[in-house]
Amino acid sequence: MAGAAQAEISNDMVKIGYLADMSGTYRDLAGPNGLIALEMAVADFGGQVNGKNIEIVSADDRNSPDVASSTARRWVENDNVDMIAGLVASSVSIAVSDILEESGKLGIVSGSAASSITNEHCTPNHIHYVYDTYPLANGTASAIVKEGGKTWFILTADYAFGHALEADVTRVVEANGGEVIGTIRHPFPTPDFSSFILQAQGSGADVVALANAGADTTNAITTAGEFGLTQSGQTLAALLLFLTDVHALGAEAAQGIQLTTGWYWDMNADARAWSDRFMEETGVRPTMVHAGIYSSTIQYLNAVKATGSDEAQAVRKQMIATPINDMFATNGRIREDGRMVHDMYLAQVKTPAESTNEWDLYNIVRTIPAEEAFRPLSESQCPLVTSK
Amino acid sequence: MSMILGVPVAVLFGQLLLGLINGAFYALLSLGLAVIFGLLKIINFAHGALYMLGAMATVILFDTLGISYWAALFVAPILVGCVGVAIEYFLLRKIAGQDHIYSLLLTFGVALIIQGVLTNMYGVSGLRYSMPDVFKGGMNLGFMFLPYYRAWVIVIALLVCFGTWFMIEKTKLGAYLRAGTEDSQLMQGFGINVPLLVSLTYGFGVMLAAFAGALAAPIYSVTPVMGSHILIVVFAVVVIGGMGSIAGAIITGVLMGVVEGLTKTFYPPASSAVIFLVMVVVLFVRPSGLFGKEA
């Protein structure tokens, strides 16, 4: 039973802290169901790795970097937490990654969007797993420009995430020969989009793009429908849309919208099988974030098992060395900057006639190969890459 | 096309009209707050949550019992109004006569509980609610496309606002109400059941919030957190109008909708702040609000 490697698991247990928005705007895309995904991964490992118990603690970060920082600090300094999972709001992930770097622990970011997390904010102590703003812009915007949507009008949530997405979209649109003819930076959150939709209509742009998230996006889509935006010949592009958002809108309101996603529950047999299990536990279909939390936890525990250690750098090195092909990712691998690159998907929301049940919502239109989807290392500002 | 400050006049008309429509929502909500504060001196921080309950009730009544939009416009406010009466009877009555801060804290706590319970039950992504068929589509006004539903909102909201003002300021029932809160002992002596009057007044203010919620259901994302965003704005509207002024709340509500709408046209990033800016200025110049009585 005893072995040299097992001695390296600190405190005789592997402790995972799940930190996410459990009650606010981002609750449904990760939240309590993300904790269930994490628990499923630990249960599938038999609750133990190399004979040591796996423990889980969890907390609500309330989308506040301050709350998240103090929780993370308590976990890593006093409570022997080895790895922090979840991590949704980009501002939270950036704040927590600093603490992880100071304390030498590991974090796996599954919910955040900002591509800066593995670019200017990269650390040797975190991994960004599911998606980021780079492929969101790359997938959706380039597809629409190629279909003939040359002039763009962007509605941007006026904070870090929206600005990052707006910049990424503008780059992609211009690179493909299109032009951004107007942007509006709207306050976060904005309950009523009628004024902005009217201005977008008045602009005469081919494409009205939404660089926002959650309720802002669903509100904007509902209002665009009400004001007949698409009937007047404009294309509506939602750049970040989770399955839970589309489900809330329904196929009737969301039909035809193109979006980029890292995963879809019905995209292959493995994904379906896992999402059936998830649905038995939660009553809903998983988002890409839920699936990413499960997959990344399995990858993490595999790395702990292989190295016999829960020391962050040993585990991270092992994770980087291991290709990822599972229910979540195809052609997945973790780069030295911490970015997990994998195939992404351009999806289109089904029409009510095509949709056979309330969660049957996407047609996968195109697979975006891993190497094409994410920011190439040659463009990276991450010191872990550029110092080489 | 003629322009004003770089904005085509046609666009400006459209934005003014949208501002009026949003203002109608603000008017309905701030009116409920003003009724509750003006007559009962209760700072009702549960107002946003009760607005949300009105919207949620409209959706849930349709999903579970098939109750139509038209019926829900009555049923949802009545149900939520009953919740309001219960809050008044079981909670607020216990702290009657205490400092305002107690009612503020109590109603804030109630709001958090309602919001938390519903978040656990329904999540935050929003519930689906279809526009009633009769409102689908809209009319082309030349300067903008006006969805029929928005036109309906402004008409019905302003009618309800005017009706409320008329009832409180111009009818015998309204006179009882105002007298009962002015000198409750005297009114008791005249044989008026003042505690009942208080419960009903709170319930009525809550019904106005729930009615606004039912009106909002087809056009806004219906979520347990929808009320928390709008509450603070509506409070600012009431402060600008003059705490407790019924007419002030209505007029200021519509006015602030327009101010916000114009800001969304000329400088969108400031549109969520502009109402607070107006509030600061008004408080400097006229501390009792635009329509408030000087203390």
pLDDT digits (tens, 9 = 90+) for A82-91: 999 999 998 8
Q: Beta-strand (E) ranges in chain B? A: 3-4, 7-8, 138-140, 145-147
Which chain A residue's Cα is nearest to B268?
A186
Q: Chain B residues with CB inside 8 Å of A286's CB?
A: none
Domains of chain A: 5-131+267-342 (3.40.50.2300), 134-261+344-373 (3.40.50.2300)
* Beta carbons of B124 and A25 less than 8 Å apart: yes
* Beta carbons of A195 and B11 less than 8 Å apart: no
Q: How far is it, in rounded angstroms, from Cα B287 to Cα B295? A: 9
* Mean pLDDT, residues A69-75: 97
Q: How far is it, in rounded angstroms, from Cα B51 to Cα B57? A: 10
- Which one is predicted more confidently, A386 or A208? A208
Write down the pLDDT at residue A387: 54
* Beta carbons of A218 and B226 less than 8 Å apart: no
* Beta carbons of B261 and A28 less than 8 Å apart: no
- Whether the pLDDT of residue A61 is over 90: the answer is yes
pLDDT digits (tens, 9 = 90+) for A198-237: 999 989 999 999 999 988 999 999 999 899 888 888 999 9
pLDDT digits (tens, 9 = 90+) for A89-133: 988 999 999 999 999 999 999 999 999 999 999 999 999 999 999
- The CATH class for the domain spanning B9-285 reads mainly alpha
CB-based contact, B257 to chain A, within 8 Å: no
* Beta carbons of A227 and B138 less than 8 Å apart: yes
pTM: 0.89
The ipTM estimated for the assembled molecules is: 0.90
CB-based contact, A250 to chain B, within 8 Å: yes
Which chain B residue's Cα is nearest to A224?
B219
Extents of the domains making up chain B: 9-285
Out of A72-86, B105-119, B176-190, B214-228, pick the least confident.
B176-190
Who among B124, B145, B264 is closest to A227 (CB)?
B145
Write down the pLDDT at residue A4: 43
pLDDT digits (tens, 9 = 90+) for A285-315: 999 999 999 999 999 999 999 999 999 999 9
Distance of alpha carbon B41 from the chain centroid? 17
* Selected residue of A226, A241, A282 to mutate for chain B interface (largest B Cβ count, 10 A): A226
Write down the pLDDT at residue A7: 46
Mean pLDDT of chain A: 93
- Whether the pLDDT of residue B148 is over 80: the answer is yes
Q: How confident is the model at residue B96 (pLDDT cuts 50, 70, 90)?
A: confident
* Beta carbons of B220 and A187 less than 8 Å apart: no
pLDDT digits (tens, 9 = 90+) for A148-181: 999 999 999 998 789 889 999 999 999 999 999 9
Nearest Cα of chain A lies from the Cα of B191 at a distance, in angstroms, of 46
Residue pairs between chains A and B whose CB atoms are closer than 8 Å: 106
Write down the pLDDT at residue A2: 40
* Beta carbons of A24 and B225 less than 8 Å apart: yes
Q: How confident is the model at residue B149 (pLDDT cuts 50, 70, 90)?
A: very high
Mean pLDDT of chain B: 92
Write down the pLDDT at residue B244: 80
- Please give the single-letter amino acid code of residue A66: D
Question: Could you count the other beta carbons within 10 Å of the beta carbon of residue A202?
Answer: 18
Please, where are the H alpha helices in B127-223? 148-170, 172-182, 184-189, 194-216
pLDDT digits (tens, 9 = 90+) for B251-293: 999 999 999 999 999 999 999 999 999 999 999 999 999 998 7
* Beta carbons of A232 and B21 less than 8 Å apart: no
Contacts of B54 by beta carbon, 8 Å cutoff, 6+ apart: B76, B77, B80, B209, B210, B211, B212, B213, B214, B216
For B219, the token pair is 């056009």
Write down the pLDDT at residue A295: 98
Q: Which residues pair with A236 in a beta bridge?
A: A208
Write down the pLDDT at residue B294: 58
CB-based contact, A187 to chain B, within 8 Å: yes
Question: Could you count the other beta carbons within 10 Å of the beta carbon of residue A296?
Answer: 30
Q: Chain B residues with CB inside 8 Å of A214's CB?
A: 124-125
* Mean pLDDT, residues A258-268: 95
Q: How confident is the model at residue B1 (pLDDT cuts 50, 70, 90)?
A: low
